[in-house]
Amino acid sequence: MSAATILVADDDAAIRTVLNQALSRAGYEVRITSNAATLWRWVQAGEGDMVITDVVMPDENAFDLLPRIKRLRPDLPVLVMSAQNTFMTAIRASEKGAYDYLPKPFDLTELIAIVGRALSEPKRKPSRPEDDGQDGMPLVGRSAAMQEIYRVLARLMQTDLTLMITGESGTGKELVARALHDYGKRRNGPFVAINMAAIPRDLIESELFGHEKGAFTGAQARSTGRFEQAEGGTLFLDEIGDMPMDAQTRLLRVLQQGEYTTVGGRTPIRTDVRIVAATNKDLKQAINQGLFREDLYYRLNVVPLRLPPLRERSEDITDLVRHFVQQTEKEGMAPKRFDNEALDVMKSYPWPGNVRELENFVRRLTALYPQDVITREIASSELKPDIASSPAEKADQRSGSVSISHAVEENMRSYFAEFGDSLPPPGLYDRVLAEMEYPLILAALTATRGNQIKAADLLGLNRNTLRKKIRELGVTVYRSARMA
Ligand SMILES: Nc1ncnc2c1ncn2[C@@H]1O[C@H](COP(=O)(O)OP(=O)(O)OP(=O)(O)O)[C@@H](O)[C@H]1O
């Protein structure tokens, strides 16, 4: 059997040489060119078993050439290399029908492995037609760690594989789940998210699977569950580690058999939903403690994706800050710039609340400081040293405040103490959150002297949302004579 022939196009002579040597050494025939026109001629002539191409070439961009190649020879695998290592490059490569995408600089061993795989795989189905007008960048950051994530996502877009995203709080787990949905083959279906930690435990099963009329006290009518709502789309199960055992058993059945029954129902319902789960806990530990089913863990963990904490990719901070500043500008705030020294200070801070903390930080400074340029002095005075030790203190840093969670923790301790050995009625989580809203909004309005625009910025709320809440909750600010 004759050796497979690889067509290589790159305008960088050094890369051509390196690829030529490595591929020849691996036993392939190689043809190399510096431009897209020659590559296209070869492809038209039916030459080559695989293409490796750079994106930017002097005469044509590979993303413009790729659809033509795929139309003419849908089975010819094309590996795209690029030095513009953004999420959109990875996605575009996948959308245009590339077999895989490799950010530069790359590892030759990995390249050879991809070539081997591409040539040995059964011929693939043609990819979906290109989709234009997607210039929004949902995921920001070009660090090596994020590029690896983009590559995995680009590969997963066209599949229905179950995915488990792990990572500390605020690393972007939900955002990744959404990006996977929005750019994947289910993007015309619904994206439904449910957070296990935010729903009273005894209601989770009914929330997920729906219930029949009379299934339990208070079930006055049939109700649809999130599975039904997510039909044809993606269901994002956040904080999966907080899922109660009974619900875990039902979920396992869905993953094994593709069907479920509602609470109180008998007839199995078939379901077509892609599951993406996320957790910031160590599920292995939960398994050891008997709190999480091991068989479910393996079913969910088909593709594990770990989002690294921001402190492990501080080179992303510049891009992220620019992104968040642009967002605040779109929302009507005055344009701001963080100077290089401010960015340096921020790069050496550990960000225990990750991207969420950074986003809040940028929003807070943009709202609070009238200066056009945020300097090192401002940034350092607003960043506290990382002395966090307790989760409560970490949460304080996350919210960027001095001791909010500490105060809540203290108050809840004394609240529980009042009940002695008995426990307060269930649904506490939602009640506490609801009760916090009024004093929080009142305090923000008082601090901003009733200025709703400033209060909304301070709280990180949309102005219309704040106005609606003020109306609903009947918050009234009594201005003192001094304030008026
Ligand atoms: N790479 C990124 N680019 C742009 N924004 C990001 C990125 N990662 C996270 N964010 C933003 O940071 C915030 C937190 O992200 P997200 O809610 O996805 O985190 P999470 O890991 O799901 O957090 P939690 O575990 O607390 O639920 C969001 O506002 C999100 O838009």
Question: What six digits make up the tokens of 16?
Answer: 């051509």
Query: Cα(72) to centroid of ligand 1, in Å?
Result: 41
**C-beta of 240 in contact with ligand 1 (< 6 A):** no
User: Is 256 a member of any domain?
Assistant: yes
Whether residue 355 has its Cβ less than 6 Å from ligand 1: yes
378 lies in the same domain as 391: no
Based on the domain organization, do 122 and 11 belong to the same domain? yes
**Phi, psi dihedrals of residue 169, rounded to the nearest 5°:** -60, 135
From 288, 306, 324, give the residue that closes a domain. 306
* Cβ of 309 below 6 Å from ligand 1: no
How far apart CA 39 and CA 44 sit, in angstroms, is 9
Going by alpha carbons, the residue nearest to atom 12 of ligand 1 is 356
Residue with CA nearest ligand 1 atom 8: 172
| N-to-C CA span, the chain | 89
CATH of the domain at 178: 3.40.50.300
Distance 162 CA to ligand 1 centre (A): 20
Dihedral sign from CA coordinates of 264, 286, 390, 172: negative
Q: Based on the domain organization, do 165 and 300 belong to the same domain?
A: yes
Q: Is the CB of 96 under 6 A from ligand 1?
A: no
- Is 151 part of any domain? no
255 and 176 in a common domain: yes
Residue 293 and residue 196 share a domain:
yes
Return the structure tokens found at 108: 């030759």
Q: Is residue 153 part of a domain?
A: no
**139 C-alpha to center of ligand 1: Å?**
9
CATH number at residue 50: 3.40.50.2300
210 plus 74 within the same structural domain:
no
Examine the fold and report which residue of 383, 405, 439 is the final residue of a domain before the chain moves on: 383
Whether 139 and 35 map to the same domain: the answer is yes
- Domain total for the chain? 5
CATH of the domain at 431: 1.10.10.60
> What are the phi and psi torsion angles at 160 (to 5°)?
-115, 15
Where does a domain end: 375, 402, 424?
424
- Of 171, 318, 324, 461, the one to substitute when testing ligand 1's pocket (max ligand atoms within 8 A of C-beta) is 171
Task: Judge if pTM exceeds 0.80.
Answer: no
Residue range(s) defining the domain that contains residue 103: 5-145
Spell out the per-residue pLDDT of the chain, length 484, in tens. 578 999 999 999 999 999 999 999 999 999 999 999 999 999 988 889 999 999 988 898 899 999 889 888 888 999 999 887 788 888 888 888 888 888 888 889 999 999 999 998 765 443 333 332 323 558 999 999 999 999 899 888 888 999 999 999 999 999 999 999 988 889 888 899 999 988 888 889 999 999 888 777 777 777 888 999 999 999 999 999 999 999 999 999 999 999 999 988 889 999 999 999 999 988 999 999 999 999 999 999 988 999 999 999 999 999 999 999 998 888 878 888 999 999 999 999 999 999 999 999 998 898 888 888 999 999 998 886 543 344 554 454 444 444 566 667 767 777 777 777 777 777 777 777 777 788 788 888 877 878 888 888 888 888 888 888 888 777 776 543 333 3
Q: How far is the CA of 359 from the centre of ligand 1 (A)?
A: 9
Let me know whether 84 and 109 are in one domain. Answer: yes
Contact 456, 468 (CB under 8 A): no
ipTM: 0.98
**402 within 8 A of 392, measured Cβ to Cβ:** no
Residues 32 and 110 in one domain: yes
Residue 152 lies in a domain: no
Which residue pairs from 143-150 have beta carbons closer than 8 angstroms and sit at least 24 positions apart in sequence? Answer: 143/313, 143/315, 143/316, 144/103, 144/313, 145/308, 145/312, 145/313, 146/87, 146/313, 146/316, 147/85, 147/90, 147/103, 149/176, 149/305, 149/307, 150/85, 150/86, 150/87, 150/89, 150/90, 150/91
Asked whether the CA dihedral 447, 453, 458, 460 is positive or negative, the reply is positive
Classify each residue of 25-54 as buried b or exposed e, where b means 16 or more C-beta atoms within 10 Å of its C-beta. Answer: ebebebebbbebebbbebbeeeebbbbbbb
> Is residue 395 lining ligand 1, measured as CB closer than 6 Å?
no
The CA distance from 431 to 437, in Å, is 10
Q: Is 446 touching ligand 1 by the criterion CB < 6 Å?
A: no
DSSP per-residue string spanning 388-405: --SHHHHHHHHHTSSSHH
Q: Is the CB of 327 under 6 A from ligand 1?
A: no
Spatial distance between the Cα atoms of 330 and 322, rounded to a whole number of angstroms: 12
- How many whole angstroms separate alpha carbon 310 and alpha carbon 319? 12
Name the β-bridge partners of 7.
31, 51
| CB-based contact 162:276 (threshold 8 Å) | yes
Distance (angstroms) between ligand 1 centre and the Cα of 324 equals 12
Residue nearest to atom 16 of ligand 1 (CA): 172
Ligand 1 atom at shortest distance from the alpha carbon of 165: 21
In a domain, 263, yes or no: yes
Is residue 301 located within the same domain as residue 165? yes
Residue 483 to residues 126, 138, 314, 450, Cα–Cα distance (Å): 67, 42, 42, 9
Q: What residues have CB less than 8 Å from 63, skipping those under 6 apart?
A: 55, 92, 93, 96
201 and 292 part of one domain = yes
> SS3 breakdown of the chain: % helix, strand, coil, rounded to 5?
50, 15, 40
d(CA 207, CA 247): 10
- Whether residue 172 has its Cβ less than 6 Å from ligand 1: yes
CB 119 within 8 A of CB 23: no
User: Are 417 and 438 contained in the same domain?
Assistant: no
